[in-house]
Amino acid sequence: MELFNLHTHKWTNQPNVLELVNQYPQEFDATIPYYSIGIHPWFIVEERIETDLAIIESKLQDANCLAMGECGLDKRIEIPMELQQMVFEKQLLLAQKYQKPVVIHCVAAFQELIAIKKKLNISVPLIIHGFSKNIQVAKQLLENGFYISFGKYLLLNKELETVFKSVPDNRFFLETDTVDEGIEAVYELAAKYKGISVKEVQELVNNNFLEVFKIEY
């Protein structure tokens, strides 16, 4: 593996890239080699929660399912927070049961996220995907054991350079999410911001991959 893409909705099937492709319980594609699966807070359907969770639990037992997610909390949607928290907590407990890392979608709910991690005593790695906030939020997440993944907003927002540089080398990942740019562009920008080569960024991310996902590729 030369490059690892922590979170994408577009499988590109490049031989030098391991892509963790986001999947949903009701739209599962068995041809995708490595994936995460979860109930995104945007797509919670109350009468289908238990069915979706059952599908997710079965997939978490598949070696090619590398993570739970994306799942999480979003204060900017109409789905009640109580319902979002219930669905999120059930998924975190499944991730804990099957010892899978979690790819997290979080919008304006970082305090709640930290509180839930503490309340449920979650010890599997939790990765905030698509980070776009300030150094203070990043610092608080790092202090509470989270990993932080950068991609779309790193490409779009120059002000994130300072935040990205503040994250320790052993606590970050890179991703594309929904952008058209390839993961190579994200690696190149990350290398520029850190003042190191793309090869050195690859080594850092690969080390973090081994630490979090516990598999050789």
Residue 57 assigned to a binding site: no
Place of tokens 């219930």: 86
Interatomic CA distance for residues 60 and 177, integer angstroms: 21
Residue 52 assigned to a binding site: no
User: Please, are residues 69 and 22 in contact by the beta-carbon 8 Å criterion?
Assistant: yes
Residue 177 assigned to a binding site: yes
- Complete DSSP assignment for the chain: --EEEEEESS----TTEEEEEEE-GGG--TT-SSEEE---GGG--GGGHHHHHHHHHHHHTSTTEEEEEEEEEETTSSS-HHHHHHHHHHHHHHHHHHT--EEEEEES-HHHHHHHHHHHT--S-EEE-S--S-HHHHHHHHHTT-EEEE-HHHHH-TTHHHHHHHS-GGGEEE--BT-SS-HHHHHHHHHHHHTS-HHHHHHHHHHHHHHHH----
Residue 70 assigned to a binding site: yes
Provide the β-strand partners of residue 50.
none
Binding residues are 70, 105, 129, 177
Binding residues for a divalent metal cation are 70, 105, 129, 177
